A = this chain, B = another copy of it.
């Protein structure tokens, strides 16, 4: 079997076209969705990531601002900016780029973002709403993974292995998969004979950042493979899955780069659009 490629760039492009239409409709009602990103410090990768979100928002007709604080910004400085943005009616979505400088308590800042503007879905109340089945902003990478999986058919009754247990990817995507009636096993560094077990699974989602962790020979014939790994190796972005061998066995596979990544940013835009709508009582 040679796998069908889940082309994240193409899927994201189509999805963003739909968002752009909705932005247009909102604008005709006098609402221009705005995404504001807070960053502290000058980490190159973070800055470039923030700028790409910024551009992506503008490209679909939203406005987008960057609040750039110094590397030595105090916790109070960051909290004050967040409070100011919480109270600014023109701002619909707020992102705080992590990691924050050491002197700033990340949890405290994430808790300070108004839940109604927390488009990353990382504030505790939004995570709690996710787990209790209430309306919320679903974290962007898990939501992007679910969008990719829509292109592979129903998940009902499928056996899914989620490798990685972070609260950013592994655990929330497990929750979303369970909601789709998949049977989900969460694996991690302490799982016994992990790779050997993968043969039992219809879908493998790997989100640990270990290049070469999963090989084609580890997979069930026809498995669906979602590779969330993104590790820099010799200036190249590399996933957790050995793509060439896996593509021989899988029915569907995401490349790295160009798989999950474009969907993550797309879902930031998706959530910002929702924030602007919900703010005006539009469902």
Residue A5 interfacial (CB < 8 Å): no
A183 x B185 contact (CB < 8 A) = yes
A191 x B157 contact (CB < 8 A) = yes
Which one of B107, B126, B133 lies within 8 Å of A134 (CB-CB)? B107
B131 x A190 contact (CB < 8 A) = no
Which one of B165, B183, B188 lies within 8 Å of A188 (CB-CB)? B183
Q: Which residues 111-129 of A have a CB within 8 angstroms of B? A: 111, 122-129
A178 x B165 contact (CB < 8 A) = yes
Closest residue of chain B to A180, judged by CB? B190
B residues near A133, Cβ cutoff 8 Å: 167
Which one of B107, B167, B183 lies within 8 Å of A131 (CB-CB)? B167
Residue A156 interfacial (CB < 8 Å): yes
Residue A132 interfacial (CB < 8 Å): yes
Which one of B127, B134, B186 lies within 8 Å of A183 (CB-CB)? B186
Residue A184 interfacial (CB < 8 Å): yes
Residue A279 interfacial (CB < 8 Å): no
Q: Which residues 150-202 of A have a CB within 8 angstroms of B? A: 156-157, 159, 165, 167, 171-172, 174-175, 178, 181, 183-188, 190-192, 194
Q: Once the chains are docked, how many angstroms separate the CA of A51 from the CA of B185?
A: 39
Q: Is the interface of A mostly helix, strand, loop or mixed?
A: mixed
A185 x B188 contact (CB < 8 A) = no
Q: Kindly report how many copies of this chain are found in the complex they form together.
A: 2
A171 x B175 contact (CB < 8 A) = yes
Closest residue of chain B to A124, judged by CB? B128
B residues near A167, Cβ cutoff 8 Å: 131-133
Q: Once the chains are docked, how many angstroms separate the CA of A167 from the CA of B130?
A: 10
Q: How far is the CB of A102 from chain B (nearest CB, A)?
A: 18
Q: Which residues 77-135 of A have a CB within 8 angstroms of B? A: 107, 111, 122-129, 131-134
A183 x B187 contact (CB < 8 A) = yes
Q: How far is the CB of A9 from chain B (nearest CB, A)?
A: 31
Q: Once the chains are docked, how many angstroms separate the CA of A131 from the CA of B142?
A: 15
Q: Once the chains are docked, how many angstroms separate the CA of A241 from the CA of B128?
A: 30
B residues near A125, Cβ cutoff 8 Å: 111, 124-125, 128
B residues near A131, Cβ cutoff 8 Å: 124, 127-128, 131, 167, 171-172
- Listed in ascending order, the chain A residues whose CB lies under 8 Å from chain B are 107, 111, 122-129, 131-134, 156-157, 159, 165, 167, 171-172, 174-175, 178, 181, 183-188, 190-192, 194
A-B contact pairs, 18 of them (CB 8 A): A122-B132, A124-B126, A124-B127, A124-B128, A124-B131, A127-B127, A127-B132, A128-B131, A131-B171, A132-B167, A157-B191, A157-B192, A165-B178, A171-B175, A171-B178, A174-B186, A181-B188, A183-B192
